[in-house]
Chains A and B, each alone.
Chain A
Amino acid sequence: MNRSETSHSFTMATWLGWQVESNWTDPFLFAIYVIVKPLATAAILVVMYSIITGGAYESPLFAYIYLGNAFYIYVGSIMTGVSWAVIEDREHYKTLKYMYIAPISIPFYWLGRGVSRFLIGTVAVIVTISAGASFLNLPLDLAEVNWGLFIVSLVIGVTMLGMIGLILASITLMMAQHNFFVGEAVAGALYLFSGAIFPLEVLPAWIRPVGYAMPITYWLELMRRSLIGEVAEAFPTLAQFSNLQLIGILIGLTIIFAFLSVVIFRWCDYRARELGLIDRVTNY
């Protein structure tokens, strides 16, 4: 495997992923499709919050919930986007075996397929946050944003999500009947345990360590801090950590997940070839 092979696999997969995601309808309908779903999810939380608090959107808790939910769009998009490529190629298009015999790098191909979901997710995140700032008094001031922290956190976070996606894709390769649920189940579990839409203190004490072990918890905290600084730091969950410490933890966990993704991919890839799973179609 050489450098051009990996970069070629990645870029071609990115283009292919974009075509698969977007060319089923015209651009206008596609734009609506991209925006409506995340806005509806955010609106559910907004309505729940406004019923109970009487619309106290200036509260730091609202910003915590709203931004956590907005950035969590990336988790679902990238993580399940990468793993979904296995299901689409093997079950739906029945092309996974051709990908395996083509001169490409399979992990980079899967990661590339996740990029289109990242781009779609980015639009959804921007629209959701803009709606919050425009209509719900979300205390977001672009001049006050810590752009350096934002970009660094975003890059590390996206890499981390890609690595988790690669782990899920490898596991999906080994599964038959229930592979459709894996990505969504993990995303759903992380939504609950990572404190995306409520501070971890709300969870029972015995569940909280799961949240502290997840890199997404630290990533969401960094994203909130980069956008609304002191407001995000008001919550006790990770208040004892500085931004630099959080970045250190996030990098450390990303490296661990990257190492795990390589090991798990190699093992699953070997077993899938050995068991003849690469072109197994279940028709579910």
Chain B
Amino acid sequence: MKANERLVYSASEKVTGWRLFIKTILARSYPRIIGQQREKSWIFFEIFMPMLAVSAYVYVYRAIGAPEEYVGFVVVGGAMTAFWMNVLWSMSSQLYWEKETGNLALYIMAPNSMMAVLLGMALGGLVATTLRAAAIIVLGTLMFQVQFTVTSFSQLFAVFFLAMTALYGMGMMSASLFLLLSREAWHISNLAQEPIYLVSGFYFPIKSFDFWVAAAASFIPLTLGLDAMRQLIFPSGASLGFLNVNVEIAVLIVLCVVFLIGAKFLLDYMERLAIREGRITENRR
């Protein structure tokens, strides 16, 4: 009886404002962290598949006689692909999946903020993916004897934190665009893999491109994030860097602000548009 009373009280307790916002973030991030760990085979595949690509590109560099630090560039770039894949498939296209499974209408009906839902997805995805990326770096380092020389841990932490904030902000922004998509969402996500690996320099220094090409590619936060991280962890990184690390940190701060504010405005707009056009429950297979 007492348990039931507590249950009734708990259910009727009204949570609003920032407490609801925080609870929504934690609730949405929970399945990202706990749920993924329950399916052990996914952990294996999500580490194993990037490792295959990393290994293939490492052997290409060895076949053409590249200096050994390029092997390290590939290992770090390969680890970062885990974040891009997560943003692409578990952030951008997530609202499309939610629409497919019927959850999207429930999210919108519930009294929580959609921004908190997206932040929860980002937080959960970031934590879960960081573990996978770390595993790829450890495995790659052991397999290919990569040598790291960190010049500044504080800058390295700042670059990683800013790059991830901007990247997941970008993911939240694109998630709202995907709200309007149907079957094409899968194909668009699929299309945004290799071309981004190319322009963001996942497997080579972005400095190899023309300045303006590299500058345009810097719109994707991982481009500058990767470039700065390579400069900070490899002895020859600075000579192969695109811009000074401090400049890259400043640009990443700007990207963080732009993407997070953009996500808020775009989400509000797209949600209204999707509701008006009846696309929330639309299911064009």
Q: List A residues at the B interface (Cβ < 8 Å).
A: 24-25, 33, 36-38, 40-41, 43-45, 47-53, 61, 65, 92-93, 177-178, 181, 184-185, 188-189, 191-192, 196-199, 202-203, 283
Contacts and interface: CB of A to CB of B under 8 A. Distances in A.
Given A37-B191, A48-B204, A177-B39, A198 B198 contact: no
Contacts of B191: 33, 36-37
B64 A185 contact: no
Nearest to B199: A40
Chain B: number of interface residues, binned into ranges: 35 or more
Contacts of A24: 183-184, 187
A131 B285 CA distance: 35
A188 B53 contact: yes
B203 A44 contact: yes
Contacts of B205: 51
Contact of B66 (A52, A92, A177, A189): A52
B42 interface: yes
Interface string B198-222: 1000111100110000000000000
A18 B250 CA distance: 48
Interface of A (DSSP majority class): helix
Contacts of B193: 37
B42 A198 contact: no
A38 B190 CA distance: 12
Given A37-B190, A92-B285, A178-B42, A45 B60 contact: yes
Interface string B177-197: 000000110010011011101
Interface in B151-199: 183-184, 187, 190-191, 193-195, 197-198
A48 B57 contact: yes
Contacts of B190: 37
A44 B63 contact: no
B61 interface: yes
B251 to A, nearest CB: 22
B113 interface: no
Interface of B: 39, 41-42, 45, 48-49, 52-53, 55-57, 59-66, 70, 101, 183-184, 187, 190-191, 193-195, 197-198, 202-205, 208-209, 285
Contact of A283 (B41, B101, B195): B101
A33 B53 CA distance: 22
6 contacts: A37-B190, A40-B195, A178-B41, A178-B45, A181-B41, A191-B53
A87 B76 CA distance: 32
A24 B194 CA distance: 21
A38 B204 CA distance: 18
Contacts of A37: 190-191, 193-195
A123 B63 CA distance: 29
Given A24-B184, A48-B203, A48-B204, A192 B63 contact: no
Nearest to A191: B56
A52 B64 contact: yes
Nearest to B184: A24
Contacts of B62: 198, 202
Given A44-B197, A48-B61, 17 more contacts: A24-B187, A37-B193, A40-B198, A43-B198, A44-B198, A48-B57, A48-B66, A52-B66, A177-B42, A178-B39, A178-B45, A181-B49, A185-B48, A189-B52, A191-B52, A192-B52, A198-B56
A40 B190 CA distance: 13
B62 to A, nearest CB: 5
B70 A52 contact: yes
A36 B195 contact: yes
B69 to A, nearest CB: 12
B198 to A, nearest CB: 5
Contact of B204 (A51, A61, A65, A185): A51
Nearest to A189: B52
B45 A25 contact: no
B65 A202 contact: no
B194 A192 contact: no
A198 B48 contact: no
Contacts of A48: 57, 60-61, 64, 66, 203-204
B86 to A, nearest CB: 15
A80 B228 CA distance: 36
A53 B52 contact: no
A61 B187 CA distance: 33
A170 B60 CA distance: 33
A198 B204 contact: no
B46 to A, nearest CB: 8
